[in-house]
Structure 1
Amino acid sequence: MLRIAYFGPQGTFTEQAARALAPGEDLTPYETVRLALAAVREGAADAACVPIENSVEGVVPTTLDGLSDGDPLVAVAEKILPIHFSVLTRPGGGEVKTVASHPHALAQVREWIEANLPGARPVASSSTAGAAVGVVDGDFDAAVCAPVAAEHYPLAVLATGVADVRDAQTRFLMVRRPGELPAPTGADRTSIVAAAVNRTGTLAELLAELAVRRINLTRLDARPTRNNFGEYRFFIDFEGHVAEPRIVDAMAALRRRCHLRFLGSHPRADQVAASVEPGAANQDFLDARAWAEAVVKGEGA
């Protein structure tokens, strides 16, 4: 049985994602994303499930920073969950003066709270499940949680299916120490983080290496390096798998331009096939390489 760390405590959307990505495995909650990742790096867990981006609130900065710092970890799978919340209170109810949750969750139910709990004060907590614990302990009157939280805590469901944006989604990653990668499927995502010299045109040059090979980006984010003010690392997701010649060619070119960390290649949860334009297929790269090698050997022109 694999040991899977996840961003907890029990009752988070990350637990739901971990259940889907690693059914039947041994799941252990950790208080923060960094602690879950550290468990993998230290050998206390075989893999970790962590949130990476939300369709409403964007990326999860602690996950980006946690993957770029410390010993390398690579993503081997992803899960996209629709995000609809349950609002939990203590049995017996009473006036709701405070409603707690993770800041990302509060942002996604702001309109619902204003309409249905107009007198309630939103309070940020470390996680959605942490808010539920706070309700149990009497720190808050209500918690905005993943529906699975109702299975773990002795609380009443005030409302469920709550979301200001009905089609909101969050993407989660399963990460582990470097090793054998999932085989390419034709509908894959590759992730890297690039730390380049802070000068005019740096980002444009990096993106050009992907553009000239007709590789489609799926996400681009920047985070400060925390070493020098104004210096950033670029987190880039794009279609394709590192085992493909066209992707290897692009990553080799990027590596010549900057410090590059590989963050994984894995099947996309939405199963969207990579878009490949004429002249940019893997066979085109193989044919071009074979032609160049023949020229070097004096066998072609």
Structure 2
Amino acid sequence: MAVTTNASPPVPASRRTYSFLGPAGTFTEAALAQVPEARGQNWRPVRNVGEALADVVEGRSDAAMIAIENSVDGGVSTAQDALATVPGLRIIGEYLVPVEFVLVGRPGATLEDVSLVAAHPVAYAQCLGWLSNTLPAHAHIPAASNVASALGLIEGDSQADAAIAAPGILEHHDLELLAQGIGDNEHAVTRFVLVSRTVAPPAPTGADKTSLLVELPDDYPGALLEMLEQFATRGINLSLLASRPIGDALGRYRFVVDADGHIEDERMADALLGLRRFSPKVTYLGSYPRADRAIVRYSERYADDVFVEARDWLRGLLSGEPEV
């Protein structure tokens, strides 16, 4: 006997939206492609970091991918400053993208045709050695971005003969590949972070990183050392320590800190409490798995159970229990 039912078909889950520095073909898009949960979802190209983070805060996107650090040029100041001034954000993951550059031209172009090269100033500086050796008589036209340098060739807006861009540009546009691997540093890497609205941190994996912004209480001898001692005395290694001006007066800086470990680690939690007592402003940006998945190593004297035992010992003293 056939059984009829009034049950409605399942409603498909709504698709998530991710903002990234566009258009297609950027290093940021390559970073977002590494996020398993972003595959098959809506990808929203934006023009700058501020727009990407505003998308998250105002609910147009569930998360945004932004560049935070480069192994050649150091920290991305616009991203670090934005995270310091835009409330309600959390870093939920990090991703590494090798910085590789290609030289592209209009269809049919050859390397011998090139005398004028369009490139973003940072990309140009990272390829200057190759350009000087291969095209010693070339001239440079600055471009707003790596993608813009290439699109100018296609759209006829650029007088350049060729452009420096990320390899991904060839997947989206009809351009001639004139040379590849033209970067001067074959080990160059850009670190990206995925940022969402404030959420509880993911569970610790043993291969985690915690990001913070810390201000010093006053400008006095040893203030920075006192801040660093909050980590050193708990056996926590710092993988990044950079200063950025706060902007309200000369000589006032905040410190961008990446510390090995997770907020649920007893040693990290204890360090955060110490920072909170010491600093007038500590901004917790998030604890998340390291991109390289390297297990965080530390001395046994900083293991979680050592901190727990010390607190139990103190509670026993306060309650009048006899010491064993």
| 8 Å CA contact retained: 2:69, 2:192 | yes
Deviation at 1:103, TM superposition (A): 3.0
Of 25, 29, 33 in structure 1, the residue corresponding to residue 45 of structure 2 is 29
Q: For residue 7 of structure 2, what is the aligned residue in structure 1? A: none
Q: For residue 285 of structure 2, what is the amino acid of its counterpart?
A: L
Higher Rg: 2
- Which blocks of at least 5 consecutive residues in structure 1 are unaligned? none
Q: Deviations over 1:243-280 (max 9, x none)?
A: 11110100111011111001111110111111211311
Aligned equivalents of 1:141 and 1:114: distance in 2?
A: 16
Contact 2:235 2:267 in 1 (8 A): no
Do residues 237 (structure 1) and 255 (structure 2) align?
no
Q: Is the 8 A contact 2:71 2:188 kept in 1?
A: yes
Shift of 1:63: 0.8
**Which is worse superposed, 152-161 or 72-81?**
152-161
**C-alpha distance in 1, partners of 2:314/2:213?**
30
Query: How many Å separate the matches in 2 of 1:100 and 1:287?
Result: 62
Residue number in structure 2 paired with 1:265: 287
Match of 1:101 among 116, 119, 123: 119
CA RMSD of aligned residues (A): 1.5
Q: How does 1:176-187 map to 2 (within 5 A)?
A: 176-187=196-207
Aligned AA (1:7): L
Rounded to whole Å, the distance in 2 between the matches of 1:252 and 1:175 is 24
- 1:171 matched to 2:191? The reply is yes
Distance, in Å, in 1 between the alignment partners of 2:90 and 2:140 is 36
Tell me the amino acid that sits aligned with residue 221 of structure 1: A
- TM-score of the superposed pair, with normalisation by structure 2: 0.88
Summarize the alignment of residues 1-301 of structure 1 with structure 2, pairs less than 5 Å apart: 1-21=15-35, 22-93=38-109, 95-137=113-155, 138-139=157-158, 140-196=160-216, 197-258=218-279, 259-301=281-323
Could you tell me the percent identity over the aligned residues? 39
Q: Which moved more, 1:229-238 or 1:160-169?
A: 160-169
Distance between the aligned counterparts of 2:51 and 2:238, measured in 1? Answer: 30
Between 1:115-124 and 1:217-226, the stretch displaced more is 115-124
2: CA distance, partners of 1:300 / 1:84:
65
Runs of 4+ aligned structure 1 residues displaced above 4 Å come to none
Residues 128-187 of structure 1 show CA distances to partners (whole Å, capped at 9, x for unaligned) of 112222222332332211111112223211112222111211111101111122110111
Deviation at 1:215, TM superposition (A): 0.3
Secondary structure of 1:20's counterpart equals coil
Post-superposition offset of 1:300: 4.5
Classify the secondary structure of the residue corresponding to 2:295: coil
Q: For residue 198 of structure 2, what is the amino acid of its counterpart? A: P
Rate the CA distance shift 1:126–1:74 in 2: closer, same or farther, 3 A.
farther
Q: Tell me, in whole angstroms, the C-alpha distance in 1 between the residues paired with 2:55 and 2:184.
A: 35
Question: 1:64: Cα distance to partner?
Answer: 0.5
CA distance in 1, matches of 2:121, 2:273: 39
Task: Output one character per residue of 1:25-68: Cα deviation in whole Å (capped at 9) or x when no partner.
Answer: 21111111111111111111100001111111111111111111
